[in-house]
Amino acid sequence: MKVLVINAGSSSIKYQLFEMPAATVLARGMVERIGSEQSGLSYHQAGQKGSRDVQAGDHQQAMGVILQALTDAQIGALHDIQEIAAVGHRVVHGGEEFTDSVKIDPDVLDSIERFADLAPLHNPPNLTGIRAAQQALPEAVQVACFDTAFHASIPKAAYLYGLPYEIYEQFRVRRYGFHGTSHRYVARRAAALLERDPAASNLITCHLGNGCSITAVKEGKSIDTSMGLTPLEGVVMGTRCGDLDPAIVFYLTDKGYSIEQLNEMCNKKSGLLGISGASNDMRNLVDLAEGGHERAKLAIDIFCYRIKKYIGTYTAVLGSVDAVVFTGGIGENSPLIREQVCSNLPQIGIEIDSKRNAGRSGEYLISAERSRVRVYVIATDEEAAIAADTYQFAR
C-alpha cells in the first residue's frame, strides 16, 4: 500500500511516499517558497536527486506540483496518483481533544481550525495542506497525526500552570507539549535498543533541532515535557527564548515595547540568535566559538546548561531513568553539544564515552560501559511514524 505523508508549513510542503507496511521510502521532497514568484521543488525520487523551478502560487498548486512529480515520466515513483491509498498529515495542535492520530472527517477539520487560536503559525497551513490533499485525492483515506497527541498522558499536576484555575477552565490554558511524534518514535526505538518492553522503559528524550524540547517518558508514556501552551516554553532554541520569568514581559511593556514586538522578540529574535548576535544555526555557532567568538560560546553554554537542568529535573520526576536519547538536527549531529550537556553528571548515573560519542549516523550508544543510565543517539523519523499510524487506518 502506498502512503503519502504531508507536512505543510506556511510557505512549504514536505512530502514522503512510503510503501507500507515495509516503510520503504519511494520518494521524498519539498515545495518551497509557496506563494512567491520563485517557488521551487526539490526531490529525491527514483534514485535521482534534483530541483527545479515550479509554479506554486498557493498550497493547492503546490500539492499539484507534488502529485505531478510523483507520476513524472522521468522521476516519478508512481504510474497513477490513484495508487496512493492514504495520506497522513502532520498537524501541530490537537488541543485536549486528540489523544491519538485520527481519520479526518468534517468534525476533525472544525477542531483543527478551532485550535488555530493556540497555534496560529502552524494549524492554518496544516489545514490548507489537508484540504489540498482531499481535493487532489478524494478517494484516499486522510489521517491527522498531532504533535500534541503523545503528551495527552501528562498528568494534571504537570500540565497545569500556577494561574487561577478559571483560566484553565475558560481558555484551556495548560501545557500541551509538541514534537510528540518524534518523542514517541525515539522512545519506541530506545526501548527496542534497550531490549525492553516500551511500557517498561523510563526515558528522557531530547529533541534538539531549530525548535527543542525535552520529554520525561515513564513506562512508555509522556509524563512531562518542556514545551507548554505553545512551543515557546522550555529550553533555549534557535530563535525562541524558552523559559522566562513572565514579569519580564510586564517590565518590558512598561519600558515601551508593544505586545507584538515582545511576541516577535521572544519567538524570532531570542535564543541562540539573540544571545550570540550572530546565528541561530548551531553549526555556525560551533565554528564561531572555535574561532574565539565570545557570544557564540555563551549561546552554546546557555543552550547546554538549560538542557542539563531539564535532565536533572526529569530524573527527579521519573525516579529511575533507563536511557537519555538525543535526536533532531543538533542532537543527532553534534558530539560537542551532547558531551557538554552530559558533562559532570556521574552523580545521576550519566557518563559519556567520548570515542562512542564521536559521531556516526543512525542509532548508537554513546554512554560509557560503567554509565548507570544509557545514552543513545537516535535519528528521528516523524514521517515514518505518521506513515505507520496512517497505514493502521487505511488497512
Give catalytic residue positions.
Answer: 147
**Smallest distance, Å, CB 91 to ligand ADP?**
16
Residues in the chain, total: 395
Instruction: Identify the residue whose cell numbers are 497525526.
Output: 145
Burial class (CB in 10 A: 0-12, 13-18, 19+), 181: buried
Cα–Cα distances (Å) from 291 to 284, 296, 318, 380, in that order, read: 11, 10, 39, 31
CB of 340 to ligand ADP, least distance (A): 12
Q: Which is nearer to ligand ADP, 220 or 328 (CB)?
A: 328
Q: CB-wise, 321 or 387, nearer to ligand ADP?
A: 387
Nearest to ligand ADP of 333, 390 (CB atom): 333
* Whether residue 21 has a cis bond before it, omega within 30° of 0: yes
Q: Which CB sits closer to ligand ADP, 203 or 289?
A: 289
CA distances to 96, 244, 296 from 307, rounded to whole Å, are 27, 15, 17
Nine-digit cell at 22? 515495509
Q: Dig out the grid coordinates for 325 from the structure.
A: 536519547
Phi, psi at 226, each rounded to 5°: -80, -30
Q: How far is the CB of 338 from ligand ADP (least distance, A)?
A: 10
Classify 25 in phi/psi space as left (phi over 0), alpha (psi -120 to 50) or beta. Answer: beta
Q: Considering the complex, state which of residue 284 and residue 392 has its C-beta at the smaller distance from ligand ADP.
A: 284
- Which residue, 78 or 289, is less far from ligand ADP as judged by CB? 289
**Strands 212-218 and 84-91, how do they pair?**
unpaired
Least distance between ligand ADP and beta carbon 120 (Å): 18
Owner of C-alpha cell 484516499: 140
Q: Nearest residue by C-beta to ligand ADP?
A: 329
Give the binding site for ligand ADP (CB under 6 A): 209-211, 238, 281-283, 286, 328-330, 333-334
Cα distance between residue 383 and residue 15, in whole Å: 9
Residue 80 CB, shortest distance to ligand ADP, in Å, is 32
Number of neighbouring beta carbons within 10 Å of residue 372: 13
In the chain, the N- to C-terminal Cα span, in Å, equals: 8
The residues with which 220 forms a beta bridge, in sequence order, are none
* Mutual angle of helices 123-136 and 106-114, in 10-degree steps: 160
The CB-of-157 to ligand ADP minimum distance in angstroms stands at 29
